[in-house]
Structure 1
Amino acid sequence: MAGPVQGSPTSRRRLVVYCAGAEWHKFKATDRHLVERLAERVDVLWVDPPNSVLRTLGRAPGEGSRFTDDLDEVAPGVWRLRVVAPPLASRPFVRSVSLRISRRAVARALDRLERGPHAAVLSCPEPIYVAPAGAVQVYFATDDFVAGAELMGRSARRLAWAERRQLARADVVAAVTRGLVDRFDIRPGTVRLALPNGCDARRFAATDEAPLPPMPLAPPVAGLVGHLNARIDLALLEATADRGVRLLLVGPVDPAVDPERFRALVDRPNVHWAGPQPTERLPSYLRAMGVGLTPYVDTAFNRASFPLKTLEYLAAGRPVVSTPLDAVEEIGSSEVRVASGPEAFAEAVVQALAGGMDADRVAGRRATAAAHDWGVRADSLLAAIDAAAAESPGVRPAGR
């Protein structure tokens, strides 16, 4: 990278560096939802995790440089930095080198943007970037990373060590559930923030006007939207189908899911798997649903999570049946039924479907979701940054 970026930010809005746990284009999850709303309030430099040169060699023309960093504007107010790093990043020495490369790449990107950061948010345990003196450092745990290390194919010991370092240097410590953030051992004076996942309430406001999707099941159905992976309890879906409930599954299937068991489930006449679908088609599938499902396996990792799907069901006006999660308490709605075990879960689904779609209750569900809109989450994070900045002379607020 060399020279100022064409179209670099010229406003006097503050700049936040956001080091994400996933690449910008991979899938739209917590980080990207939050950053898009932050960008309505501040400018954002989004930093991808370091990318092995072995992967970048396969880039087609126009997909970015194969050997050097790339800095591009990917959304209004959002500049994305892609960092090329050595292969074998899981090895300790190479990982250390990759992190140093990332920090230098961020510094070069800031020079090109001709800006200094007023805050750095890291939503991954690895210290991809450290905020300079006078800026606010934020650690944002979007999951219980240590509890989920095995699922993510990472070392729990390594993640615990990295997270302790993040907590020691952070001015603001945030997590997706209150229970998770309260468990963190942080230094005195650090701002502690519960920052649950949100939803794009506007996106699902017209769900009932969306065209019904092509599928062999007659609505209303019980539906599950999202990645079908090891977090999903297949026994709960099997029990629901056993009750004769029409079951719709929307999303990609992880290779770790038992293929024979999954195939036996979707081969039932009352079950339809729609496969991966683009986000713009989700309202159509949600329209077909009479109840949305959040059927998670009971693990410490899952209990501390905050599934996006739960709020998206509510934003579409649908009731929800979920396994016990901290997120359900955060939402605080009677429209989210909680059930443990296959029989109880299936019964709760049957009852939710029988409740119908009363207009007042639909409006109430949408109002609940609107209170958890991503814009609300962005404001909460910026307020926490402002609170931390107030404790540090010379640090200006991160808001407009």
Structure 2
Amino acid sequence: MIVYFSGREFDGVAGTHRLMAEHLSAWHPVLYVDPPWSALTPLWYRLAELRGAAMNRTKVRGPVLRQEKPGLWRLVPRVLPGAQRPGMHHVTAWLTRVKVRRAVAKLGQPVTAVVAAVPDNLLTTFPGVPTLYYVTDDLAAGAELLGLPRERLLAGERRQAESATTIAVVSPVLGERFAAMGFDATVVPNGCSASAYEGVDDLPWPDDIPRFDRPVAGFVGHINGRLDLGLLEDIADAGHPLLLVGPRHFSCPAERFAALTARPNVVWTGMRPHTELPRYMRAITVGLTPYVVDDFNRASFPLKTLEYLAAGRSVVSTSLPATDWLREDAEGAALIRAESSRDAFVKAVHEELAASAGPDRADLAVRRRAYAARHDWMHRAREVAGLLNQVGGPHDSGDQARPGR
């Protein structure tokens, strides 16, 4: 069994860690470990909701250890209140290790590897097995957004890097950062679930959005302080229909976002299950990746860019290193628009919306899907399994697991 300390709830918007864990379970059973939960956690989320954030946090009732699908279990460790307070975070890490060992003993499966995507002291939970520190964000650059001390994040990051058997990062920028610290890191970019978007144009229209009379620009994902809200406002100002799918975090200005979503050409659905996203993709013509270009976002690898392509949609993104990495491939450069100014971004959206009725739209959709399939999560999971020496285990799925790159 692979124990996967995710740092993200299994429920909610499905991100890198849930998708990676689900695909890793094709080779070995996986225990997915949610962030710790205390008696005060519901209160914290309730306060966040009162501030206007659609948190959609899992309500922990009944078993805290349950099977989500064949080969994949999920654990929500219960800990003491004040879990991330200075000093208390060490107790939280200790309690988490204890809870995980008990869960593994209950499942009765030997642990063969550990993945940690958080800077907490968790890689030592099962001594003697291969360990992977899986870095998906520049945590220190995002300390304010995460609400945690930068110094603690930096210290935890170095401890994890020193204790891990190997390190994987999602972007070249993160690879360079760890190289500067004296550590070798393998770049394993984010992927997409290409098969989930097959036949997207034949899916039922979502019940909670209107049928638009013009091509639609859309954003799918977390609506938070990482987004350049001005770009979304500019698109709405230009009169284009704008569809927003995802929960709003309180780091996104409440009044400004409310003004945006009050416009007649803007529709916001709030949080929607990951399995329902292909239906919403049907309504989108141009997918948007409108991130602020700061140190935190420069180190990231937005999932949505590849998901838009998997649905056959055109993509307009701000100019991020991850986008540039995709565009280094000639096909990627032909299929992804990356712009570094607000005017150029809005102009690109306008052009892509106008081109959606062109004679080559069907051919472009096929090319986008084919390009996205080269970046499928199964390929990414096999890379991570290889780093952990876990390929070819009891859940190896044969032809389905063989990469097509």
Q: TM-score, normalised by structure 1?
A: 0.86
1:326 to 313, 321, 327: 321
1:59-118 Cα shifts (integer Å, max 9, x gaps): 9999236xxxx4322221112222211111122322111111111222222322333322
Q: Following superposition of structure 1 onto structure 2, how do residues 1-400 of structure 1 map, counting pairs within 5 Å?
A: 15-55=1-41, 63-64=61-62, 70-130=64-124, 132-185=126-179, 192-213=185-206, 214-215=209-210, 217-332=212-327, 333=332, 334-356=334-356, 358-386=361-389, 397-400=390-393
Q: CA deviation at 1:288?
A: 1.8
Change (3 A) 1:186 1:139: farther
What is the letter of the counterpart of residue 376 of structure 2? D
How far is the alpha carbon of 1:254 from its aligned partner?
2.0
Question: How far, CA to CA, are the matches of 2:58 and 2:124 in structure 1?
Answer: 32
Q: Name the amino acid aligned to 1:305.
A: S
CA contact (8 A) 2:34 2:74 kept: yes
Residue identity in the other structure for 2:365: V
Secondary structure of 1:104's counterpart equals helix
Q: Distance in 1 between matches of 2:284 and 2:12?
A: 27
**Mapped partners of 1:288, 1:296: distance in 2:** 22
Distance 1:186 1:71, change over 3 A: farther
Whole-angstrom distance in 2 between the partners of 1:341 and 1:268: 24
Q: How far apart are the structure 1 equivalents of 2:200 and 2:62?
A: 36
Name the aligned partner's letter for residue 272 of structure 1: V
Equivalent pairs counted in the alignment come to: 371
**Over alpha carbons, which structure has the higher Rg?**
1
Cα distance change, pair 53–186 in 1 and its aligned pair in 2 (3 A): farther
- Cα offsets for 1:158-196 (capped at 9, x unmatched): 1000000000111110111122123214898x7621111
Preserved CA contact (<8 Å) 1:177 1:306: yes
Letter matched to residue 41 of structure 1 = W
Alignment partner, residue 5 of structure 1: none
- 322-331 or 136-145: which moved more? 322-331
The separation in 1 between residues aligned to 2:266 and 2:40, in whole angstroms, is 40
Structure 2: give runs of 5+ residues left out of the alignment: 47-56, 394-405
Contact kept in structure 2, 1:216 and 1:272, CA below 8 Å:
no
Bigger CA drift: 264-273 or 26-35? 264-273
Query: 3-state SS of the aligned residue for 2:185?
Result: strand
Bigger mean CA offset, 344-353 vs 279-288 = 279-288
79 and 172 in structure 1: CA distance in 2 versus 1, 3 angstrom threshold = same
2:130 partner letter = V
- Find the residue that maps to 1:380 and give its secondary structure: helix
Q: Per-residue deviation at 1:312?
A: 0.9
Identity of aligned residues (%): 43
Corresponding letter in the other structure for 2:77: V
Q: Secondary structure at the match of 2:340?
A: coil
Query: For 2:9 and 2:269, how far apart are their aligned partners in 1?
Result: 25
CA contact (8 A) 2:286 2:313 kept: yes
| C-alpha distance after superposition, 1:330-373 (max 9, x if no partner) | 32312110112221110010111122262211111001111111
Question: Is the CA contact 2:194–2:376 (under 8 Å) kept in the aligned structure 1?
Answer: yes
Whole-angstrom distance in 2 between the partners of 1:115 and 1:191: 31
Distance verdict in 2 for CA 1:196–1:60, change over 3 Å: closer
Instruction: Indicate conservation of the 8 Å contact 1:294/1:310, yes or no.
Output: yes
What secondary structure is seen at the aligned counterpart in 2 of 1:52? coil
Instruction: Kindly state the Cα deviation for residue 39 of structure 1 after the two structures are TM-superposed.
Output: 0.7
Q: Residues 125 and 163 of structure 1 are in contact (CA less than 8 Å); yes or no, is this contact kept in structure 2?
A: yes
- Provide the aligned C-alpha RMSD in A: 2.4
Cα distance, 1:280–1:102 mapped onto 2, change above 3 Å? closer
Give the deviation of 1:306 after TM superposition: 1.2
Q: 1:145 to 1:60 in 2, by over 3 A?
A: closer
Could you tell me whether the CA contact under 8 Å between 1:17 and 1:46 is conserved in 2?
yes
Bigger Cα displacement from structure 2, 25-34 vs 265-274? 265-274
Listed one character per residue, the Cα deviations across residues 136-168 of structure 1 (whole Å, up to 9, x for unaligned) are 110001211111111111111110000000001
**Superposition deviation, residue 224 in structure 1:** 0.9
Counterparts of 2:139 and 2:58, CA distance in 1: 33
Which residue identity does 2:32 align to in structure 1? W
SS in 1 for 2:388: helix
DSSP-derived class of the 1:138 partner: strand
Q: Any conservation in 2 of the 1:106–1:129 contact (CA below 8 Å)?
A: no
Alignment-derived partner of residue 392 in structure 1: none
Residue type of the alignment partner of 2:171: T
Shift of 1:271: 2.1
Contact 1:52 1:89 (C-alpha < 8 Å) held by counterparts: yes
Partner SS for 1:275: coil
Report the Cα offset of residue 23 of structure 1.
Answer: 2.5
